[in-house]
Chains A and B, each alone.
Chain A
């Protein structure tokens, strides 16, 4: 089957599941209320799916590795930590925390700076052992988590309530305020990636080959890292940290689609991710009756799959 046909099938799946979410139980009387509640939720899940999958895909390209994703290296927990630091430094009454837009802008700026620092730290040593990198990333992620926890003990319980949204955000209560402002931001990110996609394709040949073909890999890496930082901030703000999702989606997309072109793959993984997250949410709501969360399922499936990849050395 050709890639285009597969992609349109998945896209139809997305439309079906999204349509079900928005439409079931809708009557002439309740549609205004239902839609106003459901649209942001479906939109948030879709946006987060796109952000997570596209960022993981290009991250794997610039690191030349098929097992790394930003969240496994601890970037999600970094976002939560930054939120906590904002609260501790500026207090809960600060504009930076109350106003969703100001908060988002501040977190994106901080995320970009610290992601660049973390990234250069990870890849400073040329060709660092991939397992060492992963281990350090995972441990750093848990250390960030502990530091945020530590700070939350120091602040007032009422101030902490503000933070709770950032730390335990879930698919059921997606951050509504942020949903609409995220659309243009995400679109801008995708546009940048789209324009860079030809260069990214060349990067698949390896850093040395890409350099000799006239690509400034350092500049490209830096640009892409900034876009990734924005996307991580966005997805974590919308639905909270989902550790293994990027890994599963990108890996599945690479198996499903023949193409290697980023121009196509970015779209394909995004659509696939939206389909998976939406239907995952459907499964949780319908089969498990809200008795579990999507992230638990993702952690179980994704963790098992990651283990398999590690032991088979298949990447």
Chain B
């Protein structure tokens, strides 16, 4: 498995780079064709990097969220994080009209953090914790938040902007408009460094306190990590449904629950999944493209239902 991973990634990356309407072959790059190089550096490479960063970022965000909520079905899209980020996005459009990317990002992160924190706090007070009740409440919470978003969007005539942009699609990624995504690298690094604290928190508040951990601080920290990762992805790419949910679950299905060991693998499989779905979306109706959000949501929905059904406690 370990030895196969690098070749798999390389093959997928080469496929991703060479597929496209404009013809760019490795041979023409080798020959130094300037046109091929321009396409390569302004479109193909940024797209590949964006895919990797988004796939890894969202999967890691899902893993951390599952640790904080102590629930396997918690992920940015089942805890309202994504919907709050969307609300933040519409707010930035209404207030600043997209003035600067970093200002936008901070508003979106702020909303996502506040929303997620509210949800986590609410979960901690909830006495009755059925495993599937948590995502159910989260999805409903997200629904309520997104109806606020729609209200605003309708009022300011942004429905179309919102619709075009929430459906995740990597085709609009070009050099110069995706760099915010690099935030994912340091944040994932920090998440890795604090992995053991998150896994201690996942056992429960009293246990964490017993071993001298400031539980609330760890949870707040986790919420920040999750909000940052998912906001960056939502802002640049759009909503990729179910990704943060299925990747960590499938990884822990095969590798157990050691988060420190799982985290890099979660990131890796997130990248592989997004890359393959993106490639599939690009070839299925070539020369047109199917947005990746649709492919992942059909696939991810099926996997999610399978995961819920096989959970014996719910049968």
Contact = CB atoms under 8 A, between A and B. Distances in A.
Given A143-B301, A300-B147, A313 B308 contact: no
| B73, B132, B241 — most chain A CB neighbours (10 Å) | B132
Given A146-B297, A303-B140, A307-B140, 5 more contacts: A131-B132, A153-B290, A304-B144, A307-B141, A310-B136
Nearest to A300: B147
A57 B60 CA distance: 43
B139 interface: yes
A311 B298 contact: no
A20 to B, nearest CB: 24
B147 to A, nearest CB: 4
Contact of B301 (A142, A243, A307, A313): A142
Q: Please name the 8 residue pairs, one residue from A and one from B, whose CB atoms are nearest each other, closest first.
A: A143-B301, A303-B144, A299-B147, A146-B297, A300-B147, A132-B314, A131-B132, A303-B143
Nearest to A145: B297
Contacts of A292: 151, 154-155
B26 interface: no
A136 B305 contact: yes
A136 B285 CA distance: 30
Contact of A296 (B128, B150, B298, B311): B150
Interface string A208-227: 00000000000000000000
B165 interface: no
B315 A128 contact: yes
B191 to A, nearest CB: 27
B164 interface: no
Contacts of B297: 142-143, 146
A313 B295 CA distance: 35
A82 to B, nearest CB: 17
Contact of B144 (A132, A146, A300): A300
State the main secondary structure of chain B at its contact with A.
helix
A131 B305 contact: no
Interface in B185-201: none
Given A146-B298, A146-B301, A307-B144, A293 B133 contact: no
Interface string A129-147: 1011011101110110011
Contacts of A150: 290, 294-295, 298
Nearest to A154: B285
Contact of A132 (B132, B137, B154, B301): B132
Nearest to A151: B294
Contacts of A131: 130, 132-133, 136, 314
B45 to A, nearest CB: 26
B137 to A, nearest CB: 6
Nearest to B157: A291
Nearest to A150: B294
Contacts of A304: 144
Contacts of A128: 315
A86 B298 CA distance: 19
A230 B126 CA distance: 39
Given A132-B132, A292-B155, A142 B241 contact: yes
A101 B192 CA distance: 60
B135 interface: yes
A310 B301 contact: no
Contacts of A297: 147
